[in-house]
Structure 1
Amino acid sequence: MKRGFPLAIQKLADRVTARLGFSCAFALVALISTAPLYAEEPPTLLIMGDSLSAAYGIEQDQGWVTLLAERLEDDAQVVNASISGETTSGGAQRFADIIGQQQPDIVLLELGGNDGLRGLPPAQMRANLATMIEQSQQADAEVLLLGIDIPPNYGQAYRDAFTGVYHSLAEEYDLSLVPFLLEDIALNKQLMQSDGIHPTAEAQPIILDNVWPALEPMLEETYQASSQ
């Protein structure tokens, strides 16, 4: 993330010495040396999610991922690889290529909701998420796990097993976790679309506010690491 340029300073000083003399060259080098020695490249954030992160049913620029990019401005590059309807299996199949291309510093992993809605085995969901987590860590990327819940009609035992996947993964891999991405949204009909599954445009800033407390310290650590 750091790009050095002391050699460029030396070459410039050599040219000035040849034309103007040693004293002018010395003054130039002293002036430039007070500037940072490195030009920082902003960190890359990869959002790997489903319709909740793909702005389903609303304008793309209203989605919480776009709002995140706007909040960060030039302080980070935000790459949204989310696809509506994506399962953890589909995400795991394409994840290696995406992380290889983007080389993110932080991965926001928001998958599992469609597994739950389809009643897929939580153990399968866990294995797929674990694969993506391990691939992220092998690529030196930090992972923020964004959890989700499913409706009560799926039964309490299944819901407990489903939500437990996120907590157990966060503990096993020492990850930051947002337990429920739609906190303060899912039970408010005014913030949910008519399908009762997808949040409205008005809910998107709240989603970002749910993510930000966990994401902000990760960004600060990334900035500090890149400046050392």
Structure 2
Amino acid sequence: MAEAPPLLRALRRWLAALLLGALAAPAAAPAPPPAVLVLGDSLSAGHGLEGAPAWPALLEERLERHGYPHRVVNASRSGETAAGGARRLPGLLERHAPRAVLLQLGGNDGLRGQAPERVEADLEAMIEASREAGARVVLLGIRLPANYGPHYTERFEAIYPRLAEAHELPFVPFLLEGLWDREAMMQDDGIHPTARAQPRIAERVWERLRGVLERRREEAAEAG
């Protein structure tokens, strides 16, 4: 039997090496599920719940139950301010590439008497950064105790509807509506919701988030 020409032998060796390399290479890791990023303060971080799930964890259960493949990344921190969130957000957007950002900040700024204009500017910067990264934003509003005086509280509360209108955002006017004045729904400090309140908050946020995800699903279907 005639020996194969050198070029053919070299080609066979190259193909054999290529095949062995492909067999030895580790399988590519599957892409992580699309993310929903929650950026908030202690109201979203689960302050005082003693191990009970906070509303972002319940929201992830709701997503799974309704057939959405998304994971919830809860980047909330107790004591977080709008300025602090604005500093952290770029890194979070880069790391998680979220499809949606649930923005729940500003309450600590208000409790510290920060200028509403400054709070609004920080929130707007986060809205714009999220959109530039390809994420939809749901704005979650908060109100201040009445003892801060009507002039300040009215200026503060006007931030959220104004931003929602300017940027055409789905938003929750007051995250603790119907909860803040009910004893069983609030912890002893009168600021943080109890474990019993968490499903109510998750439901309220879900109503807004679901519309965002449905629109994204429809857009993907139209494009594909």
TM-score range, shorter chain: 0.7 to 0.9
Closer/same/farther in 2, CA of residues 185 and 220 from structure 1, 3 Å limit: same
Query: Is the counterpart of residue 156 in structure 1 residue 150 in structure 2?
Result: yes
Which residue, 71, 75, 78 being the options, matches 1:84?
Answer: 78
Cα deviations by residue, 1:180-210 (Å, 9 ceiling, x for unpaired): 0001100112210011000000000111122
Aligned residues: 190
Give the TM-score, by structure 2 length: 0.81
2:205 maps to 1:211: yes
Residue number in structure 2 paired with 1:140: 134
**Which position in structure 2 is the counterpart of 1:221?**
215
Distance change in 2, residues 1:60/1:111 (3 Å): farther
Counterpart of 2:56, as a letter, is: V
State the one-letter code of the partner of 1:71. R
What's the CA shift string for 1:129-182, capped at 9, x where partnerless? 011001011111100000000100001111111110001111111111100000
Larger radius of gyration: 2
Tell me, yes or no, if the aligned pair for 1:60 and 1:66 is still in contact at 8 Å: no
Let me know the Cα RMSD of the aligned residues: 1.7
Provide the rounded CA distance (Å) in 2 between the counterparts of 1:223 and 1:41: 18
Alignment partner, residue 4 of structure 1: none
Q: In the alignment, which of 192, 195, 214 is matched to residue 198 of structure 1? A: 192
Give the aligned residue type for 1:49.
Answer: G
Q: Which amino acid aligns with 1:85?
A: G
Aligned to 1:176: 170
Shift of 1:101: 0.9
Letter aligned with residue 46 of structure 2? A
Q: In the alignment, is the contact (CA less than 8 A) between 1:61 and 1:67 conserved in 2?
A: no
Distance 2:213 2:143 in 1: 26
Residue 60 of structure 2: aligned partner = 69
Cα 1:40/1:94, change in 2 over 3 Å: closer
Deviation at 1:42, TM superposition (A): 4.5
Say whether residues 1:50 and 2:44 are aligned partners: no
Match of 2:95 in 1: 101
SS of 2:190's partner is coil
Report the Cα offset of residue 41 of structure 1. 7.3
Aligned 8 A contact 1:48 1:111 in 2: yes
Deviation at 1:224, TM superposition (A): 2.5
Q: Secondary structure, in 3 states, of the residue corresponding to 2:160? A: helix
Deviation by residue 1:17-71 (Cα, 9 ceiling, x = unmatched): xxxxxxxxxxxxxxxxxxxxxx997431000000010000014552100101111
Whether the aligned pair in 2 keeps the contact of 1:108 and 1:144 (CA below 8 Å) is: yes
Q: Distance in 1 between matches of 2:203 and 2:110?
A: 24
